[in-house]
């Protein structure tokens, strides 16, 4: 089966690149992910409630799907979101642990706890774009183009799925490492979806 | 054909699937009230694995491994070991793949008081998976699925897909999650726990109970149904769909669950389905949502149950535990009661069972939903 | 009372991460939930934590909160009557 990468987005600690073009970001002293949000001129106040992993995945998906999913309202049953990372939700897990660690200052935070699952980032992207296909999350010790390829191709075993948002979304200890790909069944304009190309887009 | 070769459940109700099934069939619940537990300010109704029994079970396994395993890893290893020992599969073979389903793994090690004996990498799920699969000498990197409360179903769907088109002959699917101050305090902050035994699909349901479990299902494949052992349960289909509604749970209307169910049962005669083993967490919203999805897909006449009144919600283990117990019931021509239910009331009326019944139908449907808005359905059939 | 209302607005903005809203944007008489600020069920739970952490008021469930979180003013009045810190 031929599958094509129709667009891709690479988001790291100092750069945002979409389809090979670096996106200029106005830097402030505030958090980098918030700077990206403001530079994109999106109005989505829920963004500020997200943990870092969801923020990073959300921003990459906005850039990735900007010209692909214009209609945000109608349910889309033919799209799946299949993601992978190294640290699951540990960045947010550590923040939540702080709210319960001290017996004399024990106030477990529901708003932090709700992000202590890696697949919440799939959920955020799904909500934003009304994507109602499969959402799955896998964990791997290190970035693996091969594994990303395999789980994304498996998402097409559901015959009603024609497009998949897939890739690597990791955020831990202030290190952001995201590569999101928008892939389509069939041979179309774009880069062939294969292990070698995924590997090179991550470099 | 993807079929089950062996299974095991480690829970408060026992350390084999057979013990667990026998207890459930008798109507025994593993839930217990803990006045003080996990250093928490509030009491807790939960289903916990007995520590001593787990230690004994672990030390009875002969191993050369010098690794100091965590409680989570020990439970997973004991469960996989016991499932494997009933087969003649060589877990060190390169035709065997381990798949781990968990939501929080060793998360309790984030607590400074608990982490001292372990290296910092032990909080990573892939690290636990490595240690578990290498305990059995397996040469292949384990797959780790972490998809909130539907993880156990997602892992079985992953197993089904991988077996169908890869060189692996067997998939050892382990679902495990332990309780910790981390997990319990979070659910308490959501105000979603009941301090009594939960009441799935009940008029007065007021929240869920948490539970811990490690469970293993070993799947194999065969081109020819005649070669599949008698009484074996086959995994026919499975699907996942998102609600795109809110991260804290599925939609109120069951839209995503409907899609998952429709995809799963599309080639099936509804008359063949003995029962639906629902997620049935006993939160007001979940059970109403499921009643809507079951009705919207035209399955409202089927018998429904939930196993949460026996095991609590075992998170990443739930999909595996509940698939095993439901499979045993199917093979035993039994539909299990929904423990905890007294007065049935959901938005759409359902046929939830208050007593065990017998049925010789051949299929059952397993449902799960979870945070992130994900929903899963599995369809299984006995040979 | 007015000082408590302002304090509360600042706290709500902080704990609910209402990054782009200023205290003067919140009408203390307007409903907190349902419209305007776009708050959801997790926000309501977080406000329950705020009540306990900052004012020593323990609410047992979300439905108790429903009446108290009607508006910032209702919240402030309730806090004034029931606070233990």
Mark yes or no for CB contact C20/A45 under 8 Å.
Answer: yes
| Whether the predicted pLDDT of C36 surpasses 80 | no
Query: What are the tens digits of pLDDT across the range B183-198?
Result: 999 999 999 999 999 9
- A143-170 burial, b if ≥16 CB within 10 A, otherwise e? bbbebbbbbbbbbbebebbbbbbbbbbb
Other Cβ atoms closer than 10 A to A194: 13
Every domain of chain A and the residues it spans: 3-202
Mark yes or no for CB contact A127/B110 under 8 Å.
Answer: no
Tell me if chain C has a CB within 8 Å of the CB of A31: no
What is the per-residue pLDDT for B288? 97
| Whether the predicted pLDDT of C61 surpasses 80 | no
**β-bridge mates for residue A3, sequence order:** A185
Tell me if chain B has a CB within 8 Å of the CB of A106: yes
What is the per-residue pLDDT for C67? 87
What is the per-residue pLDDT for C22? 95
- Burial classification of residue B76, based on how many CB atoms lie within 10 Å of its CB (0-12 exposed, 13-18 middle, 19 or more buried): buried
Two tokens, residue C55: 């004012």
Query: What are the tens digits of pLDDT across the range B251-309?
Result: 888 999 999 999 999 999 999 999 999 999 999 999 999 999 999 999 999 999 999 99
Gap between the Cα atoms of C58 and C85, Å rounded: 12
**β-bridge mates for residue B375, sequence order:** B241, B369
What is the CATH code for B233-382?
3.40.47.10
Contacts of C11 in chain A (CB under 8 A): none
Same fold, B2-227 and B233-382: yes
What is the per-residue pLDDT for B121? 95
Contacting partners of chain B (3+ CB pairs under 8 A): A, C
- Burial classification of residue B60, based on how many CB atoms lie within 10 Å of its CB (0-12 exposed, 13-18 middle, 19 or more buried): exposed
- Burial classification of residue B117, based on how many CB atoms lie within 10 Å of its CB (0-12 exposed, 13-18 middle, 19 or more buried): exposed
What is the per-residue pLDDT for A107? 96
Closest of B132, B184, B9 to residue A108, by C-alpha = B184
| Whether the predicted pLDDT of C62 surpasses 80 | no
Gap between the Cα atoms of C43 and B115, Å rounded: 32
Contacts of residue B227, Cβ cutoff 8 Å, sequence gap at least 6: none
Tell me if chain A has a CB within 8 Å of the CB of C49: yes
Mark yes or no for CB contact A111/C46 under 8 Å.
Answer: yes
- Residue B231: pLDDT band by 50, 70, 90 thresholds? confident
Mark yes or no for CB contact A111/C38 under 8 Å.
Answer: no
Tell me if chain A has a CB within 8 Å of the CB of C43: yes
Do residues B54 and B71 lie in contact, with contact meaning Cβ atoms separated by under 8 Å?
yes
| Whether the predicted pLDDT of A188 surpasses 80 | no
What is the per-residue pLDDT for B116? 84
Tell me if chain A has a CB within 8 Å of the CB of B107: yes
Tell me if chain C has a CB within 8 Å of the CB of A192: no
- In the stretch 221-260 of chain B, residues with CB closer than 8 A to chain A read 239-248, 255-256, 259
Do residues B71 and B144 lie in contact, with contact meaning Cβ atoms separated by under 8 Å?
no
* First-residue to last-residue Cα distance in chain B: 11
Every domain of chain B and the residues it spans: 2-227, 233-382
The pLDDT of B137-156, averaged and rounded, is 98
Gap between the Cα atoms of B195 and B248, Å rounded: 21
| Whether the predicted pLDDT of C65 surpasses 90 | no
What is the CATH code for B2-227?
3.40.47.10
- In the stretch 34-63 of chain C, residues with CB closer than 8 A to chain B read 40-42, 45, 48-49, 60-62
The pLDDT of C1-23, averaged and rounded, is 95
Gap between the Cα atoms of A95 and C11, Å rounded: 19
- Residue C66: pLDDT band by 50, 70, 90 thresholds? confident
Do residues A201 and A179 lie in contact, with contact meaning Cβ atoms separated by under 8 Å?
yes
Task: Give C37 to chain A, closest Cα distance, Å.
Answer: 9
Size of interface A-B (CB pairs under 8 A): 148
Query: What are the tens digits of pLDDT across the range B92-141?
Result: 999 999 999 999 999 999 998 888 899 999 999 999 999 999 999 999 99
Q: A3-202 adopts what CATH topology?
A: Peroxisomal Thiolase; Chain A, domain 1 (3.40.47)
Contacts of A73 in chain B (CB under 8 A): none
- Burial classification of residue C52, based on how many CB atoms lie within 10 Å of its CB (0-12 exposed, 13-18 middle, 19 or more buried): middle
- What is the CA angle A141-A145-A6, rounded to 5? 135
Gap between the Cα atoms of B271 and C74, Å rounded: 56
Query: What are the tens digits of pLDDT across the range A100-139?
Result: 999 999 999 999 999 999 999 999 999 999 999 999 999 9
Q: Report residue A134: phi and psi, to 5°.
A: -70, 140
Gap between the Cα atoms of A202 and A199, Å rounded: 5
Do residues B314 and B321 lie in contact, with contact meaning Cβ atoms separated by under 8 Å?
yes
Closest of B164, B214, B176 to residue B3, by C-alpha = B164
| Whether the predicted pLDDT of B250 surpasses 80 | no
**Between B83 and C65, whose confidence is greater?**
B83
Contacts of residue C61, Cβ cutoff 8 Å, sequence gap at least 6: B191
- Residue A189: pLDDT band by 50, 70, 90 thresholds? confident
pTM of the predicted protein model: 0.97
Alpha helix segments (H runs only) across chain B: 17-26, 51-59, 71-85, 125-135, 151-165, 181-189, 255-265, 284-296, 308-311, 318-331
Mark yes or no for CB contact A93/B147 under 8 Å.
Answer: no
Two tokens, residue B153: 């179903």
Mark yes or no for CB contact C48/B191 under 8 Å.
Answer: yes
Tell me if chain A has a CB within 8 Å of the CB of B92: no
Query: What are the tens digits of pLDDT across the range A31-79?
Result: 999 999 999 999 999 999 999 999 999 999 999 999 888 899 999 999 9
Task: Give A77 to chain B, closest Cα distance, Å.
Answer: 8
Tell me if chain C has a CB within 8 Å of the CB of B248: yes
Two tokens, residue B112: 């400074």
Label the pairing between strands B96-101 and B303-305. unpaired
Gap between the Cα atoms of B238 and B145, Å rounded: 15
Contacts of A107 in chain C (CB under 8 A): 49, 52-53
Gap between the Cα atoms of A108 and A111, Å rounded: 9
Residue with tokens 């793949």: B97
Sign of the Cα pseudo-torsion (B268, B270, B272, B276, in order): positive
Distance of CA B50 to the CA centre of its chain: 19
- In the stretch 300-359 of chain B, residues with CB closer than 8 A to chain A read none
- What is the CA angle B38-B40-B44, rounded to 5? 80
Q: Report residue B125: phi and psi, to 5°.
A: -65, -40
Size of interface A-C (CB pairs under 8 A): 31
What is the per-residue pLDDT for B114? 84
- Residue B248: pLDDT band by 50, 70, 90 thresholds? confident
The pLDDT of B61-70, averaged and rounded, is 93
The pLDDT of C17-23, averaged and rounded, is 93
């Amino acid at each position: 089966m031929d599958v094509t990468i129709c667009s891709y987005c690479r988001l790291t600690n100092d750069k945002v690149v979409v389809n090979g073009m670096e996106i200029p970001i106005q830097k402030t002293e505030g958090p980098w992910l918030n700077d990206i949000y403001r530079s994109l001129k999106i109005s989505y106040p829920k963004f500020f409630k997200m943990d870092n992993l969801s923020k990073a995945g959300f921003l990459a998906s906005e850039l990735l799907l900007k010209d692909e999913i214009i209609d945000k309202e109608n349910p889309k049953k033919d799209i799946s979101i299949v993601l992978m990372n190294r640290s699951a939700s540990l960045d947010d897990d550590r923040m939540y642990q702080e709210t319960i660690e001290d017996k004399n200052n024990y106030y477990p935070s529901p708003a932090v706890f709700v992000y202590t699952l890696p697949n919440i980032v799939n959920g955020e992207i799904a909500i934003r774009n009304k994507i109602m296909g499969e959402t799955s999350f896998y964990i791997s010790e290190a970035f693996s183009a091969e594994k990303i390829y395999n789980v994304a191709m498996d998402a097409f075993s559901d015959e009603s799925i024609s497009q998949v948002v897939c890739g690597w979304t990791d955020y831990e200890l202030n290190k952001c490492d995201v590569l999101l790909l928008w892939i389509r069944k069939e041979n179309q304009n774009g880069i062939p979806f294969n292990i070698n190309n995924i590997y090179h887009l991550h470099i | 054909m993807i079929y089950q070769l062996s299974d095991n459940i480690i829970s408060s109700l026992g350390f084999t699937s057979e013990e667990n099934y026998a207890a459930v069939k008798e109507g025994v619940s593993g839930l217990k009230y803990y006045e003080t537990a996990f250093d928490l300010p509030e009491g807790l109704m939960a289903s916990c694995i007995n520590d001593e029994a787990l230690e004994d079970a672990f030390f009875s396994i002969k191993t050369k491994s010098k690794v100091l395993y965590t409680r989570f890893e020990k439970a997973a290893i004991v469960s996989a070991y016991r499932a494997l020992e009933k087969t003649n599969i060589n877990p060190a073979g390169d035709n065997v793949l381990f798949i781990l389903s968990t939501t929080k793994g060793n998360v309790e090690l984030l607590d400074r008081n608990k982490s001292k004996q372990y290296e910092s990498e032990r909080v990573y799920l892939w690290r636990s998976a490595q240690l578990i699969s290498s305990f059995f000498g397996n040469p292949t990197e384990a797959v780790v699925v972490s998809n909130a409360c539907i993880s156990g179903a997602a892992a079985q769907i992953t197993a089904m897909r991988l077996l169908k088109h890869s060189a692996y002959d067997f998939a050892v699917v382990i679902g495990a999650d332990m309780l910790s101050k981390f997990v319990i305090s979070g659910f308490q902050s959501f105000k979603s726990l009941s301090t009594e035994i939960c009441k799935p699909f009940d008029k007065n349901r007021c929240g869920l109970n948490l539970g811990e479990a490690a469970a293993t299902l070993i799947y194999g494949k065969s081109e020819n149904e005649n070669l599949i052992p008698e009484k074996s349960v086959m995994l026919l289909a499975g699907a996942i769909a998102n609600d795109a509604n809110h991260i804290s749970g599925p939609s109120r209307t069951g839209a995503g669950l409907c899609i998952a169910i429709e995809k799963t049962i599309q080639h099936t005669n509804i008359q063949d389905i003995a029962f639906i083993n629902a997620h049935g967490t006993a939160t007001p919203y979940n059970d109403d949502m499921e009643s809507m999805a079951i009705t919207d897909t035209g399955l409202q006449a089927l018998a429904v149950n939930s196993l949460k009144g026996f095991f609590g919600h075992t998170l990443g283990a739930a999909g595996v535990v509940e698939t095993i117990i439901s499979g045993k019931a199917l093979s035993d021509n039994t539909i299990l009661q929904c423990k905890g239910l007294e007065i049935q009331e959901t938005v759409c009326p359902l046929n939830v069972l208050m007593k065990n019944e017998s049925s010789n139908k051949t299929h059952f449907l397993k449902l799960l939903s979870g945070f992130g808005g994900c929903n899963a359905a599995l369809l299984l059939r006995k040979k | 009372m007015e000082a408590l209302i302002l304090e509360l607005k600042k706290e709500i903005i902080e704990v609910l991460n209402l990054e782009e809203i200023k205290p003067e944007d919140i009408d203390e008489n307007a409903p907190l939930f349902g419209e305007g600020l776009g708050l959801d069920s997790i926000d309501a739970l977080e406000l329950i934590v705020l009540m306990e952490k900052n004012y020593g008021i323990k609410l047992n469930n979300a439905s108790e909160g429903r009446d108290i979180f009607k508006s910032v003013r209702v919240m402030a009045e309730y806090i004034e009557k029931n606070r233990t810190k």
